[in-house]
Chains A and B, each alone.
Chain A
């Protein structure tokens, strides 16, 4: 990192003192103290919604605390905007990257950086500088590559390079490993260690215990917005179980695999044979995929984002035409590229992008529930029967515990309720097959539990479930088998009982056994 910091090496470079932050109806941070020492990797551990991200946004000036103060270099500081934090060398890498797809790595790195006041841009010079910074931290990305050509892991490196180029000495990484293969994550940890050796400090937000133990020096655990405690990782006392207890407040089983009766039939309900399909840009995105899902089985599809999982789901649900191969339900082939045919045959789909793809956000809840139903009590000839539609919605709102009214605009629903609306619509159509992608992303703990329960219940009723997720933990918790995709191909199918994260990670990276 740029600045040399010779001063007391155990000083607090970044901290919070009694920080409280309220949002309508909830206290996101409640009297939180936090201290990041120079030269350490410090984990912020907590469940979704425990206030980790809020705290970090306060530390970087994105939010202002209602009470308490932020500490920079040992002294109280007033941050009015992220620019103030940046001026002190504190940067945050968000989960959602701020990269412009159609620009090069070098252009993205210098974007908005005002210290270089020159009007003219010298491409060669910038590219050299970027390459040099990348070299130093072992984070090589080609400076002239366009962002859209890069893998997610490489994009993350560009985000980090951006901060280093601006003179970062303190980095806050928000759940950086969720988008990485285990191997890529290991590489990131290596780079983080290098930064620390160069005098930098890192806050590492996570809810995954193993990686916290692997890479961090100290851990601060947040629960329900409160600081539960800060512990040294190397003290011999701290182990995964202890941290887990701090995190959730009671003893838990580490593997939270829900009880399943395991009623799995023998004859595959859904069968894909040598299926190929083109992606949005015309290049092949799914290549010769063969899979079979039994009734009552949950088949996971693992892989780093952008390796053909979404396209595969779209092929099965008929939205994307296949270029080769067959998809058969109950032994009868599904028409290629016909969502209508798929829906009629009993294929339900809960896509990853709930608001834009699964639901019409500007329409009312009851109308969204009718989206896939062309017949039934809610229709009379070419006309809609509004009162029946609303009654239908009322019943589903009740049974799926949706916080909303039939006349509510879907846009106004929270993520969890929107997901429940989608599930209600798809599951109420008595599907044979359910294709569901990233079912719990962005949901709070309660909604997550509800969604998982609905999913398992569907499987128990004999639905063949295809679960696409980048969250390995979730896949291990919910699936019977997991198919791993890399570059459009299935690199392996493993049984959950007899595999581990390492094996899946290798398959995600394209290494077949």
Chain B
């Protein structure tokens, strides 16, 4: 039983300021670490970061480009946030986004000529249904056959990507443009009618894509649902303690499938917005290169799975990802953005510890830290009532029965 050099003590309550400070610090630290890495591999971090800032913030139209990237990230971020918060490990957002895009492109091609009033709801419904169905597969398999949803949802990402490739590159499908001259040489998707392209809204200095506004509405709706509805209440019980939920008469399997479906629908919606706001056709290669589904997980973790936080995190990650996308091919280092995203996630995870535990470094007194688990008669300092902040009202009595006898 050696004393570890770094020891953690569980906090009973998380200070409010840490909830904001931790993600912010994670972003800053990650950029610093990446800068060190850049310098170490012979690149100038300052000019690289300046390039990125120009591409995503300062250059003309850069902010609008950032918004275009932030839109799918907002939606996949919400998808990951709701799933992970409810402990449904849906890492299939990527595939659900592809299916959403395929369905939305299909719907757009069918009804696009009838104008936005028809096309918008049709595309949204089709895409959300597609994503939801795709997510329902791992959800149902998990709920009823006990199959690990992490692996199945992930495998389906590859399948969905290949399906997209098949539709555009491997077959003469409805989605593929077979008529225009360029498309004879380079296979590409059929474009939906321009009247059904999604409008952007002009805000000072930036064009807000319709999808982003949809995303904000989703975030707010999700926040309210989780916090103050019966459905959200039940989901929270299931995620906190599945067995307690069972006793409370909540159908936990159904709740799990619902969360997966909801998450899939949101990821599908991200695919819809990619078609409606941006590509106006099915572009499997572009979708795969952007990896919005995976990045959504980073967004969600950075936001600590809070739907409102996801909005901010999506903007930040959107700027980062946009820099990566728009600078690709130039002398900008390929892969840098993914690395930074990974490091942000590491830092966010590390920071999470700060908010859950107090950290003690060194080999100090280990008397309290070494309370061994084999412990039933409660010698540990378990404080009655509220510990920490509220110790005054709760009374500092300890659950050791020092006083009265029957």
> Chain A: residues with CB nearer than 8 A to chain B?
23-28, 47-50, 52-54, 57, 62-64, 81-83, 94-98, 174-175, 224-225, 248-250, 256, 317, 319, 338-340, 343, 349, 351, 353, 355-363, 367, 370-372, 374, 379, 382-384, 386, 403-405, 408-409, 411-417, 442-449
B244→A371 contact, CB < 8 A: yes
| Also in contact, A360 and B385, with CB within 8 A (given A24-B398, A416-B399) | no
Indicate which residue in A249, A370, A403 contacts B394 across the interface (CB closer than 8 Å). A403
9 tightest Cβ-Cβ pairs between the two chains A and B:
A444-B401, A49-B401, A340-B249, A403-B385, A94-B374, A414-B399, A360-B240, A26-B398, A362-B240
CA separation between A404 and B387, bound complex, in Å? 10
B337: interface (CB < 8 Å) = no
B383: interface (CB < 8 Å) = yes
A317→B247 contact, CB < 8 A: yes
| Also in contact, A445 and B390, with CB within 8 A (given A97-B374, A98-B374, A356-B244) | no
Indicate which residue in A28, A64, A249 contacts B405 across the interface (CB closer than 8 Å). A249
CA separation between A52 and B385, bound complex, in Å? 24
A160 CB, nearest partner CB in chain B, Å: 14
Which residues of chain A have C-beta atoms less than 8 A from B367's C-beta? 63-64
CA separation between A443 and B399, bound complex, in Å? 8
> Chain B: residues with CB nearer than 8 A to chain A?
1, 12-13, 228-231, 233, 236-237, 240-241, 243-249, 367, 370-387, 390, 393-406
A30 CB, nearest partner CB in chain B, Å: 10
B383→A25 contact, CB < 8 A: yes
Indicate which residue in B233, B248, B372, B379 contacts A54 across the interface (CB closer than 8 Å). B379
Q: Which residue of B lies closest to A225 (CB)?
A: B402
CA separation between A418 and B263, bound complex, in Å? 34
Which residues of chain B have C-beta atoms less than 8 A from A81's C-beta? 1, 370
CA separation between A343 and B393, bound complex, in Å? 34
Which residues of chain B have C-beta atoms less than 8 A from A175's C-beta? 377
Which residues of chain A have C-beta atoms less than 8 A from B405's C-beta? 47, 248-250, 445
Q: Which residue of A lies closest to B239 (CB)?
A: A362
**Consensus secondary structure, chain A interface:** loop
A24→B381 contact, CB < 8 A: yes
A24→B396 contact, CB < 8 A: yes
Indicate which residue in B231, B245, B379, B403 contacts A446 across the interface (CB closer than 8 Å). B403
Which residues of chain A have C-beta atoms less than 8 A from B401's C-beta? 47-50, 443-448
Q: Which residue of A lies closest to B238 (CB)?
A: A360
Indicate which residue in B12, B229, B374, B390 contacts A382 across the interface (CB closer than 8 Å). B229
B386→A62 contact, CB < 8 A: no
A62 CB, nearest partner CB in chain B, Å: 6
CA separation between A24 and B368, bound complex, in Å? 11
CA separation between A37 and B375, bound complex, in Å? 26
Indicate which residue in A25, A339, A340, A412 contacts B12 across the interface (CB closer than 8 Å). A412
CA separation between A370 and B40, bound complex, in Å? 57
Indicate which residue in A319, A372, A414 contacts B382 across the interface (CB closer than 8 Å). A414
A96→B375 contact, CB < 8 A: yes
B247→A357 contact, CB < 8 A: yes
B1→A82 contact, CB < 8 A: yes
CA separation between A321 and B124, bound complex, in Å? 41
CA separation between A372 and B374, bound complex, in Å? 32
Which residues of chain A have C-beta atoms less than 8 A from B228's C-beta? 383-384, 386
A494 CB, nearest partner CB in chain B, Å: 25
Which residues of chain B have C-beta atoms less than 8 A from A63's C-beta? 367, 370, 379
Q: Which residue of A lies closest to B380 (CB)?
A: A23
> Can you sample 19 A-B contacts with CB below 8 Å?
A23-B381, A24-B381, A52-B377, A57-B379, A82-B372, A357-B243, A370-B233, A372-B249, A384-B233, A403-B385, A404-B386, A405-B390, A414-B382, A415-B399, A416-B384, A416-B399, A444-B378, A446-B403, A446-B404
